[in-house]
A and B are shown apart, each in its own frame.
Chain A
Amino acid sequence: MKNIALETHNLTVSYNRRPVLWNVDFELPSGQIIGIIGPNGSGKTTLLKAIMGLVKTSSGYVKIFDQDLDDVRDRVSYVPQRESVDWDFPASVMDVVLMGRYRSSNLFKKISQKDKDIAAEALEKVGMLEYSGRQINQLSGGQQQRVFIARSLAQGADLYIMDEPFVGVDAATEEAILNLFSEMKKEGKTVIVVHHDLQTAKAYFDWIVLLNTRMVAAGPKEEIFNEELLQEAYGGKLNVLSKVGELVREKDFPIREK
């Protein structure tokens, strides 16, 4: 296989001792547009948070470009779910995009003109430059999403990890994002996108991970889109697994023998 952008190895994550991700184990190639697909509550957001080191993992590890996150932070960029922040915060579009230029190395320092130029360029790429002075709560949902993506672009990373960028956006934004993806692909960037809509997944992505608490399948989209696998990911509940999950919680059982 080609270069590996992201590897998760036996990743398990629990909330209040209830596992919401079990043994997720995959390797994703670089330079592709990759969809992580699964129904609501299947653990997609949790998986991204685990990759980005935002939730504690009970077991397993994550490698990005074959290294630990801390060694490659500058090469990874994260776009959180749009609803995860309060858009009534007193900030302009430019303020938010500039946040993509903050580093631990420029702590205490003012934002430079170069950073501002990079931020403006990122806004241009998502077609939002003329909104740069706008208060962020005066944007539509699609525009807010584009601002978040611009902030991430301003980081100048190689790997982009986005949580549901297509939720609640207008057709224009959807098109803008898709165009951006193919441009990024041309530049050799890797884009990993959480998505819950099966209908559009096949058109959007080159490579797909099917997730439902555990990893159902991962591979090029032609291999993944077959009845059996989709049924496994979307059809019915994973009864045994969720029952065992409940048990683990009730009995306060360690998820791994240490």
Chain B
Amino acid sequence: MNSTLEFLSFSDPNVRFVVIGTMILGATAAMVGTFSFLRKRALVGDAIAHSILPGVCLSFLISGEKDPLWLILGAIISGWVSLLMIDGISRTTKLKNDTAIGIVLSVFFGAGILLMTMIQHSGNAAQAGLDKFLFGKAASLTQDDIMVFSGIGIALIVIVLALYKEFKLVSFNPDYAKVIGLPVKFLEFLLATITILAVAVGIQAVGVVLMAALLITPASGARYWTDRLGKMIIIASLFGAVSGFIGSYISYIAPSMPTGPWVVMALSVLAIGSIWFAPKRGVFSKLKLSWQNRDKILTENILKLFYHLGEDEGDFEKPRSFKQLLTSERFKELELTKGLKMLKKNNLLRKKGETWFITRSGFKEASRIVRLHRLWELYLNQRLKLEPDHVHNDAEAIEHIITPEIESLLEKELDRPTIDPHRSKIPYPTE
């Protein structure tokens, strides 16, 4: 555990650079990627990542050094050229957008690899840093890199904050933005530019292949936690930063482990975790909701049974044995046991020896359900002109979901009826 402490103390400046650097990268890529995700442009991030390579190599050849600023400038230019070409191809030919992306991506990447090989064979000593644009090498981040990354990161945040509402509209409904006179071309240009910037920086940590994941994965996970764009951006950026931290930590305690892939691994775990466990939208909470519904239906049906038995015999308070309950309705034994236990816990039923009976609040609840059932049957019968023998099954389901508001609407619309289509009495609370 010593190395963990060492890592967390940040006493080693190199650790500091790597951790801060990857966290900035992760967060900015996630922020920008949220817009790519919402504009359904996931593939474009991939295209940019592949297309900046020739720009980086050319700028290295021209400037002769690996000053991060020069390299990023080259990256921006070739990223832009590739986007213009994709746009041009899909506009002037009949090729689909994804085909155009594929063509541009492979041509640019091929050219990049060619240039990279040339540089490597030229024996230029400084070239060692270039291949991080290919595979990503977070562990080699220096103070200079951090300065550049922070500068770019801040610039991106400022742009997104300043034009937040316009970016929102352009992502949601670009035609409308155009019609009300917003400079949509300019806004789209800016969105593309910040994507290129985020890619040019992020790629140095995770490499070409994983870059698209750094853009898109945080947003896809964050979407599960919120229905608001602002929160979604913040959550995605947190995911990006946390993954950057985890990635650099793992490669610190296990030096043979690469940072970039672990960043993406962490991101994927966060995204998959979100899909499962996020409240409301997550798979798990959807399951939970359906379990809760099942329990509600079960317990309400048991209460209803008590009511029906009491109604038949003219005695609602009479104790019932488990066996009687089991034989008089379609419950399974296990189900009934579970339902009785839940009802007892909520003080709707009470157990005395081996028999069960209904409490005062249980009776109130039971008559509410029976009332809803019969009101609904009557409604179907009177308003939708369904035959009395066709309304029962529908009411069996609907009785469990009718809210008090709908109940009072039903009562009003049917003029507080007392008899249902099967001539049973509709029970109302007595007060």
Contact = CB atoms under 8 A, between A and B. Distances in A.
B181 A103 contact: yes
B178 A104 contact: no
B176 interface: yes
B165 A102 contact: yes
Interface stretch (B5-13, B223-231, B248-256, B421-429): B223-231
**Chain B interface main SS type:** helix
Interface in A191-244: none
B166 A90 contact: no
B38 A90 contact: yes
Contacts of B179: 52-54, 73, 76, 78
B175 A84 contact: yes
Interface string B216-228: 0000000100111
A110 B228 CA distance: 17
Interface string A83-105: 01110011110011011101110
Contacts of A54: 175, 178-179
Interface residues of B, number: 27
Interface string A19-43: 0000000000000000000000000
Contacts of A90: 38, 223, 226-229, 232
Interface string B161-186: 01101101101110111111111000
A7 B86 CA distance: 37
B133 to A, nearest CB: 33
A111 B169 CA distance: 13
Nearest to A54: B175
Nearest to B233: A90
Nearest to A88: B223
Interface in A40-83: 49, 52-54, 70, 73-74, 76, 78, 80
20 contacts: A16-B94, A49-B175, A73-B180, A73-B181, A76-B179, A78-B179, A80-B176, A84-B173, A85-B172, A85-B173, A89-B172, A90-B38, A90-B232, A91-B172, A91-B229, A98-B165, A99-B176, A102-B166, A102-B169, A104-B183
8 closest A-B pairs by CB: A135-B227, A73-B181, A78-B179, A90-B229, A89-B172, A85-B173, A52-B179, A104-B181
Given A78-B179, A85-B172, A99-B165, 17 more contacts: A49-B175, A52-B175, A73-B180, A78-B176, A80-B173, A84-B173, A90-B226, A92-B227, A95-B168, A95-B228, A99-B172, A99-B173, A99-B176, A100-B180, A102-B165, A102-B177, A107-B183
Interface of A: 16, 49, 52-54, 70, 73-74, 76, 78, 80, 84-86, 89-92, 95-96, 98-100, 102-104, 107-108, 110-111, 135, 151, 155
